[in-house]
Structure 1
Amino acid sequence: MAIAAVGGALFAFLGAPAAWLSGAMIMTLLVALVRPLPVLRRSWFDSTVLLSGAIIGSSATPEALAAAVRYPASLIILLFAMAGIMAATGTYLRYVARWSWLDSLLAAAPGALATVLAVAQSKGADIGRISVVQLLRLLVLVALLPGLMQLTGLHPAMAVAPPAKILDPWTMLLLLLAGFAAGLVLERLGVAAPMMFGAILSSAVAHGTGLVEGSLPPPVQIAVLVMLGSTMGARIGAIPRRDLLKLFPLAVGGLLVSLAVAFAFALPAALLAGVSYADSITAFAPGGLEAMAMLAFAMGLDMLYVSSHHLMRFLIIGFALPFLLDRLPSRLPER
């Protein structure tokens, strides 16, 4: 955590976009490539996603929810974008990398890594290379997407404006306890990422109904970004370097294909939803729910728009992917 904090502070000092998240991830990754780092304990990780869920849910203010009536058309476009990303990226990995269709489609799935790896294990797919492609894609998105937007002028103002109101300690504690209780219920129901969903649900209800107004204190927000960055960096750094070097070109190629499809669908979605193209790009980018939602937060984007799209994609992949791949053999021969 100290290594990640140093990386985040350095990037913040240099004025890098999404500094605390991307800096923490890159610094942790660089150290992990030299010396393996331990992963966060379950309690620390659950605490991190609980806090991040509370931050994401705080964007569901009554004013933001009133504006969300413009989103259904964008969410429908997202469904076609997901199908296009899986088809295009899966075809690339199948015929360029010569992988089986099973491995190709699992590696092409836009986000929901835990679900993807669970399906891969049950189907006997190659978990190692699937996770490398998925994690490298997330690394590139978090590390480069903010800077790319800044350089191209899509989103020149990366600084996050301070919230109008900061939650007092007691209100924050009650909000987190409500999220924790909801997370325990969802965990008993077998829902994936229960603490994240529980915190988002409780925070969104509390803010959307006007019972709570404001966000978590800035030091807590920074700590959440640092913790998420350290988790991502350590996971990628734990992959053997030989596998990273071997699969890196394929992962970059798959990323370019998936981003081309996502960005193409993001343009009409932005026009229909009445949001900026930077918001739409971040919403359609094929990354993980917590990472991309918090990236939107760090860049000062429309968190409600971004998180609602990534939440929808997470749910669709989580529920539909096992059924979509059920007809494929457990291990297709490669040619």
Structure 2
Amino acid sequence: MPVPSYVPYHLRTLSREAAVIACAAVGGTLFTLLGVPAAWLSGSMLVVSIFGITRPLPDLRRPWFDSTMVMSGALIGSAATPEALAATARYPGSLLVLVVGLLAIMLATGAYLRFVARWSWIDSLLAAAPGALSAVISVAQDKGANIGRIAAIQLFRILVLVAVLPSIMKLSSGGTPLSLPPPVAIASVGDLALLLGSGLVTGLIFERIGITAPFILGATLASALLHGTGLVHGTMPPEIAIAVMVMLGAAMGGRVSNLKRGEIAALFPLAIGGFVVSMAVAFAFAWPAAWLAGVPYASAMAAFAPGGLEAMAMLAFAMGLDPLYVGAHHLTRFMLLGLLMPFLVGWVQPEKPSAP
């Protein structure tokens, strides 16, 4: 229902933004009830994207976006606990393969989108990034990339991945659910204040010196240092983490409304092709990694799958795989993408439209 014109402009803007966020929350709730991994993020993105196809949606204003990036970075960095960092030292050969595979996935999938879809290199590489959606969207925002179609490709990959990977792993190993994730420690109020304050200050410094995606990068770095050194323990309460996922989903899904319907239809075959390329490269690198680490191939498949940390960790636990191995690899990939994404695409200059 349109907001009456007599309502002050800032209230009309706020009410439209609230409607977008409410749609995102409904999508996250629905996916949670359906038991979809990474439900709050993927559900909010999907529902807002679908709603955005039918009618234009307002972009969330910069304060919303920047605060979401700070909290997203804090969540990403909270995975870098001393125990998780110590676990990464147990698999040096496999982690090295992961780094090479990460670059190979981005280059192969990016080249597919560049030469088949004729996208710009910036859009292609960001859409090809295997995970770290917060960092991807933040960099896309700063680089002026097409966030709508990048988010659409990323969303498709996550949804298909969490739907088909369990079946693939079952065929590979016959794994069955054996355990549940351990309880997550919640940071104290003081630790949360230190975490968010440090992330905000670091982000403002990064913004001042001209670093791409300063708030997600600064908050991730600050959070990783605080958690890795043991100065901060635990992560955000689930309610705050859910709110961050909903806000991020609303920000990404809303950008789909800027796409034309014909362009959205054209994205589906591209998304399928990009998914196949990403998975083929990931699973090719998972085989030597499994051999080097001495783990089942199914564990390496879960560790190298180009999905989100939360979704892959849940699937690993559900399938009874080695949680330390899977978690260490996704932590490494998450941190590499979160910290290095601005630099990986920073050298790519936006393409100017050709003269008529």
- Cα distance change on mapping 1:270 and 1:34 into 2, 3 Å: farther
* 1:83 shift after superposition: 5.0
- CA offsets 1:279-329 (integer angstroms, 9 cap, x no match): 755765557xxxx34555776775553243144246656435565x68xx9
User: Is 1:250 paired with 2:270?
Assistant: yes
1:45 to 65, 72, 77: 65
Matched, 1:136 2:160: no
Residue of structure 1 equivalent to 2:85: 65
The letter for the 2-side match of 1:184 is: L
One-letter identity of the residue aligned with 2:40: W
Aligned to 1:238: 258
Deviation at 1:331, TM superposition (A): 8.4
1:70-111 Cα deviation digits (max 9, x unpaired): 4553453245335544554466457655x4xx8468625633
Is the 2:70–2:196 contact (alpha carbons within 8 Å) kept by the matching residues of 1?
Answer: yes
Task: Read off the aligned partner of 1:179 and give its amino acid letter.
Answer: G
Is the contact between residue 89 and residue 257 of structure 1 (CA under 8 Å) also seen in structure 2?
yes
The SS at the match of 1:39 is coil
The question of whether the paired residues in 1 share the 8 Å contact of 2:32 and 2:39 is answered with: yes
Aligned to 2:166: 150
Q: Name the counterpart of 1:107.
A: 124
Partner of 2:41: 21
Counterpart in the other structure of 2:11: none
Aligned counterparts of 1:274 and 1:237: Cα–Cα separation in 2: 47
Once the two structures are superposed, what CA deviation does each residue of 1:89-134 show, in whole Å capped at 9, x if it has no partner?
466457655x4xx846862563346657877x7xxxxx66xx6653
RMSD: 3.7
8 Å contact 2:108–2:278 — kept in the other structure? Answer: yes
- Report deviation, 1:210: 1.7
Does the aligned pair in 2 maintain the 1:132–1:247 contact within 8 Å? Answer: no
Deviation at 1:149, TM superposition (A): 2.5
Letter in 2 for 1:257: V
| Kept after mapping to 1: 8 A contact 2:28/2:246 | yes
CA deviations 1:15-72 (Å, max 9, x no partner) are 2222111111111111111122112211111111211211221122111111121455
Query: Is 2:245 aligned against 1:225?
Result: yes
**Secondary structure in structure 1 of the residue aligned to 2:89:** helix
Q: How far, CA to CA, are the matches of 1:49 and 1:117 in structure 2?
A: 11
Q: How many angstroms apart in 2 are the aligned matches of 1:190 and 1:263?
A: 37
Distance 1:53 1:140 in 2: 23
Alignment of 1:147-296 (within 5 A): 147-153=163-169, 161=181, 163-270=183-290, 272=292, 284=304, 292-293=308-309, 295-296=311-312
CA contact (8 A) 2:102 2:333 kept: no
Give 1:124's aligned residue.
none
SS of residue in 1 equivalent to 2:79? coil
Whole-angstrom CA distance in 1 between matches of 2:85 and 2:215: 23
Letter in 2 for 1:165: A
1: CA distance, partners of 2:75 / 2:139: 23
Describe the superposition over 1:159-213 as per-residue Cα deviations: whole angstroms up to 9, x where unpaired. 9746442122232122110111111112222222211122222222222222221
In structure 2, do the counterparts of structure 1 residues 3 and 94 end up closer, same or farther at CA, with 3 Å as the change threshold? Answer: closer
Name the aligned partner's letter for residue 197 of structure 1: L
Q: Does 1:312 pair with 2:312?
A: no
Question: Any conservation in 1 of the 2:73–2:217 contact (CA below 8 Å)?
Answer: yes
Q: TM-score, normalised by structure 1?
A: 0.76
Percent same amino acid at aligned positions?
A: 42
Preserved CA contact (<8 Å) 2:123 2:150: no
Contact 1:279–1:306 under 8 Å retained in 2: no
Please identify, of 71-80 and 230-239, the stretch whose mean Cα deviation from structure 2 is larger: 71-80
Q: Output the CA distance in 2 between the equivalents of 1:240 and 1:174.
A: 43
CA contact (8 A) 2:282 2:305 kept: yes
Q: Deviations over 1:239-281 (max 9, x none)?
A: 1111122343234223322321122223433554577867755
* Cα distance in 2 for residues equivalent to 1:240 and 1:50: 31
Task: State the one-letter code of the partner of 2:85.
Answer: L
Which 10-residue stretch deviates more, 159-168 or 258-267?
A: 159-168
Paired residue secondary structure (1:216): coil
More off after superposition, 84-93 vs 238-247:
84-93
* Structure 2: distance between partners of 1:330 and 1:217: 44
Equivalents in 1 of 2:197, 2:283: separation in Å?
38
Q: 1:90·1:107 contact (CA, 8 Å) conserved in 2?
A: yes
Tell me the SS of whatever aligns to 1:210. Answer: coil
The letter of the residue matching 1:186 is F
Aligned partner of residue 211 in structure 1, secondary structure:
coil
Relative to structure 1, the CA distance from residue 114 to residue 206 in structure 2 (aligned partners, 3 Å threshold; closer, same or farther) is closer
- Secondary structure of 1:165's counterpart equals coil
Q: CA, structure 1 residues 297+219, in 2 after alignment: closer, same or farther (shift >3 Å)?
A: farther
